Structures are given as structure tokens and as C-alpha cells.
């Protein structure tokens, strides 16, 4: 356990491997990947802060340390992505950091303003497009999922609105 505390990053890091091949990739492809990473980091920070707030002020000190450490890592990653995104032609709006004492504000990014949620995974996507198109852009088959907005089943022809979180529920068929 002490080793885990002293060395928090064991093993190979696939992200660093991805950075090593940046010269082989298109700028737009890199920017889109970084946009998705940024949106996921912001969602993670917001979720972690909300969970922490729901337990405050009765959260044990060691849990406060765990949440604070996680938020600081997320904030460092957010700052790094926000610093590098402009070099790939994308601008960040309303940069925000998250902490245990600040109000959480989810920033909106150009093009990525909604999300698909499936199997505990949050996938940032564009708004003002049909759900089926967002699914297709992210590799999900429209015939394999039911789509739910705010607990209500919707068709995949519905247009994604800014801030939408669409749950994708896997359809199981067969005999």
C-alpha cells in the first residue's frame, strides 16, 4: 500500500504513446480527440464534486484527501488540454477549474455540448444534430439501442439540445 502512495503512476501510459505519434495524425483528428477528453474530464470533475457535496460536511478527512487529490489531477489534465487545444485550431470557452470549495460550472465547448451515456460511460457529442447521427459518429448502431432523455423513451430522430444527456440502453434480441 505504501508503494501505491509513493508511486501513483505505475505501468505504461497509452496517452503518452498517443502523444508520441501526433505528427502522423491530422490536426482536426487530434483536436476532436482532445475535445472529447476535455469534456469527459469536466464531466468527471462535476460528478466528483457533486458526490462530495452530497456527503459534506460529514465526510471523513481521508475521503476529503482522496477527492481533493482526484480533483487536482483532473484540473491539471484540464489545464493541459486547454493549453494545447488552440495549437490544433480549437478555442476553449469559459475555462473552469473544480475544487471542493468552488461552485461547479460545466463549460461548453465548440461542437461538443451534449452527451450519450451507456454502460456507465459518458460520450461527449455535438448538439443540434439527430441522436442517430451522434450515435453513428461515436460508433454506436442505432438498431442496437433504445434512446432515453430525462427518463423518457425518445426516437433517435430527436434533435440533441445543448446540455442533453441521452442514455443508450442496449437492446437484447435473439432466441
Model confidence pLDDT, tens digit, residues 53-109:
666 666 677 777 887 788 888 888 888 888 887 887 766 655 554 444 332 333 333
10 Å CB burial of residue 111 (0-12, 13-18, 19+) is middle
φ, ψ for residue 166 (rounded to 5)? Answer: -100, 120
Mean pLDDT value of segment 112-132:
82
Specify the higher pLDDT residue, 13 or 30.
Answer: 30
Of 107, 102, 133, 104, whose CA–CA distance to 35 is shortest? 107
State the DSSP string of 24-36: GS-HHHHHHHHHH
Residue 56, pLDDT score = 60
CATH superfamily name and code, 114-170: Beta-grasp domain (3.10.20.30)
Model pTM? 0.50
Amino acid at each position: 500500500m505504501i508503494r501505491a502512495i509513493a508511486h501513483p503512476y505505475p505501468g505504461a501510459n497509452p496517452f503518452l504513446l498517443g502523444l508520441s505519434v501526433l505528427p502522423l495524425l491530422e490536426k482536426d483528428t487530434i483536436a476532436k480527440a482532445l475535445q472529447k477528453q476535455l469534456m469527459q474530464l469536466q464531466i468527471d470533475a462535476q460528478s466528483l464534486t457533486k458526490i462530495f457535496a452530497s456527503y459534506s460536511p460529514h465526510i471523513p478527512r481521508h475521503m476529503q484527501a482522496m477527492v481533493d487529490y482526484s480533483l487536482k489531477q483532473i484540473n491539471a489534465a484540464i489545464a493541459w488540454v486547454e493549453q494545447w487545444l488552440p495549437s490544433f485550431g480549437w478555442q476553449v470557452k469559459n475555462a473552469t477549474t473544480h475544487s471542493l470549495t468552488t461552485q461547479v460550472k460545466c463549460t461548453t465547448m465548440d461542437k461538443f455540448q451534449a452527451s450519450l451515456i451507456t454502460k456507465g460511460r459518458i460520450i461527449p457529442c455535438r448538439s443540434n444534430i439527430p441522436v442517430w447521427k451522434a450515435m453513428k459518429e461515436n460508433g454506436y448502431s442505432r438498431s442496437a439501442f433504445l434512446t432515453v432523455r430525462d427518463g423518457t423513451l425518445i426516437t433517435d430522430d430527436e434533435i440533441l439540445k445543448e446540455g442533453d444527456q441521452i442514455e443508450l440502453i442496449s437492446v437484447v434480441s435473439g432466441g
